[in-house]
């Protein structure tokens, strides 16, 4: 019973291609320490959303039990990553006049302005997943981190609100609860990725994190230490395989293999005249695949996906904030030449995301596929620390990613 008091948190990422469970504990000087990982192939998820609850439930069980075995702990609750085409992020602003006679901004004023900004107009069936506070402005002076004690007549604040359709969010929660595992909280996978892979400098300077998953692309822009914008595109690695299967006239499984073995994000011109033979069990002679076609189909899809993110960022007015670089995580980060393409599209250096400020097996930390899972576990560890350390925190704002990021 010696270890019964060991406090663990688990991050669970139900992705389109795989289910990942990461178990972490609080290590020395409050740095999360990864003690268990579990992985299972995901069969019941399409485009980031569960389409077959039974299969998914089985996959989640596999991943959790594998992680339990490795950590030698029982998982009772998880922090669950959510994603899917229905998840959206947008900026909502609120203002509040400072009423006190001496124009001294008090805690009450700050609370009121945040409450005003929280009054968002959402469709009925949508549920707010996160509210990320941005800097305050006092009398049109922007970029104020803490307005309490300043003088002003009007105080304003922007909130980045991430919301999704309640029923679809509930789907994944139900699958987990069906396994008698509690869900502590749901976290948008895009923000979990940010939490996991960005260094404090990158958060300050302005970085775009792209999680190139099997079914979805999640993106988030961080600047001045804050998450400025985030969102999801329901297009991912599955689409590449599907395109290849259709374009090269091969079965989907074969297309998947071709993508991994020979795929590239940069045009077909590199492969001019090259071919690759694949064995075919039905027609006896091996099928010859034209590499130029493969490259062209794949690069068109990948560059379109990245350009969609670019246009989303332009629409949100966030593209200029991406100054320091692009960080790619998820299975898509393994696509050959994707960094070159990302550099070309966004005009800043690109790198593959690896988990930062976490202890654990190197083989886990350096894999881009685990970024979201690690981010979820990290989120859980911070929550745990916060619970332990209640008195420092000011109730009222609730949980904000901003606070997490400051710690990270």
Partner 1 sequence: MNESMNQSAGNPAAERQLSVKVIGVGDAGCRAADLLAGEVMPGVEFWALNSDARGLQDIVKAQKLQLGQDLLRGLSAGGDPELGRASAEAEQKSLVEKFSDSDLIIFLGGLGGGTGSGALPVLARQAREVGALVLSFVSLPFDFEGQQRSQRAELALSQLLVASDAVISLPNQTFLEIVDERTRLPETFEIINRAFLQGVRGIWQMIEKSGLINVSFQDLRSVVQSKHAKSSFAVAEADGENRSREVVERLLAHPLLSGNDQLEDADALLVNIIGGESLSISEVDRIMERLRRHAGNARLVVGASTNPAMGDRVGLTLIASWHRKTRSVSLKIDAPSMDEFTFPVPIEGSEIETSFFERNTDFTSTSARYTAPPPASEDRRTDRLFAQSKPSFNQQRRIKNKLKQGMLKLEAVSRGRFEKSAPTIYDGEDLDVPTFVRREVALN
| Binding positions for partner 1, rule: CB under 8 A | 46-47, 51, 85, 233-235, 238-239, 241-243, 245-247, 252, 290, 293, 296-297, 300-301, 304, 308
Q: Are 276 and 291 in contact (CB under 8 A)?
A: yes
- Whichever of 47 and 402 has its CB closer to partner 1, that residue is 47
User: Which tokens sit at 103?
Assistant: 């124009």
User: Which tokens sit at 73?
Assistant: 């702990």
- Whichever of 73 and 238 has its CB closer to partner 1, that residue is 238
CB of 114 to partner 1, least distance (A): 26
- Whichever of 47 and 160 has its CB closer to partner 1, that residue is 47
CB of 209 to partner 1, least distance (A): 21
CB of 341 to partner 1, least distance (A): 14
Q: Are 293 and 363 in contact (CB under 8 A)?
A: no
Q: Sheet containing 8-14: which strands, arranged edge to edge?
A: 32-41, 18-26, 8-14, 77-82, 182-188
Rounded Cα distance, 188 and 162, in Å: 8
- Whichever of 41 and 115 has its CB closer to partner 1, that residue is 41
SS3 (DSSP) at 84: coil
**CB-based contacts of 247, cutoff 8 Å, min separation 6:** 293, 297
DSSP H or E segment with residue 228: strand 226-233
- Whichever of 179 and 248 has its CB closer to partner 1, that residue is 248
Q: How many CA atoms lie within 13 A of 205 on its CB side?
A: 14
CB of 203 to partner 1, least distance (A): 29
**CB-based contacts of 115, cutoff 8 Å, min separation 6:** 94
Phi-psi region of 232 (alpha: psi -120 to 50; beta: other; left: phi over 0): beta
**Which residue is associated with the tokens 């990270």?**
408
- Whichever of 26 and 289 has its CB closer to partner 1, that residue is 289
Q: How many residues does the chain have?
A: 408
CB of 217 to partner 1, least distance (A): 10
Q: Are 55 and 18 in contact (CB under 8 A)?
A: no
CB of 301 to partner 1, least distance (A): 5
- Whichever of 46 and 386 has its CB closer to partner 1, that residue is 46
CB of 315 to partner 1, least distance (A): 11
């Amino acid at each position: 019973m010696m270890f019964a008091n060991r406090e663990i948190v688990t991050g669970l990422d139900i992705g389109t291609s795989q289910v990942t469970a990461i178990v972490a504990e609080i290590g020395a000087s409050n740095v999360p320490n990864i003690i268990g990982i579990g992985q299972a192939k995901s069969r019941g998820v399409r485009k980031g959303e569960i389409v077959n609850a039974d299969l998914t439930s089985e996959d989640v069980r596999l991943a959790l039990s594998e992680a339990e075995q490795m950590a030698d702990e029982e998982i009772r609750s998880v922090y669950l990553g959510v994603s899917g085409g229905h998840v959206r992020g947008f900026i909502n602003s609120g203002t509040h006049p400072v009423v006190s006679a001496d124009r001294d901004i008090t805690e009450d004023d700050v609370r009121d302005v945040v409450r005003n900004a929280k009054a968002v107009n959402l469709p009925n069936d949508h549920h707010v997943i996160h509210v990320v506070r941005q800097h305050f402005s006092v009398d049109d002076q922007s970029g104020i981190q803490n307005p309490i004690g300043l003088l002003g007549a009007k105080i304003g604040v922007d909130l980045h609100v991430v919301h999704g359709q309640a029923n679809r969010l509930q789907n994944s929660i139900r699958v987990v609860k069906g396994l008698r595992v509690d869900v502590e909280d749901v976290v948008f996978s895009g923000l979990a990725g940010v939490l996991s892979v960005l260094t404090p400098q990158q958060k300050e300077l302005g970085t775009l994190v792209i999680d190139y998953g099997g079914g979805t692309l999640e993106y988030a822009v961080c600047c001045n230490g804050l998450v400025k914008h985030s969102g999801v595109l329901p297009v991912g690695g599955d689409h590449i395989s599907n395109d290849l299967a259709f374009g090269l006239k091969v079965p989907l499984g074969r297309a998947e293999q071709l993508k991994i073995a020979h795929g590239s994000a940069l045009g077909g011109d590199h492969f001019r005249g090259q071919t690759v033979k694949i064995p075919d069990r039905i027609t006896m002679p091996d099928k010859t695949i034209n590499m130029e076609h493969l490259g062209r189909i794949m690069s068109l899809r990948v560059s379109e996906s990245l350009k969609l993110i670019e246009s989303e960022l332009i629409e949100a007015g966030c593209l200029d904030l991406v100054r320091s670089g692009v960080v790619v995580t998820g299975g898509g980060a393994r696509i050959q030449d994707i960094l070159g393409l990302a550099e070309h599209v966004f005009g800043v250096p690109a790198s593959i995301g690896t988990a930062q400020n976490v202890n654990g097996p190197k083989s886990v930390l350096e894999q881009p596929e685990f970024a979201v899972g690690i981010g979820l576990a990290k989120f859980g560890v911070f929550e745990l620390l916060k619970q332990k350390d209640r008195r420092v925190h000011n109730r009222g704002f609730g949980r904000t990613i901003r606070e997490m990021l400051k710690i990270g």
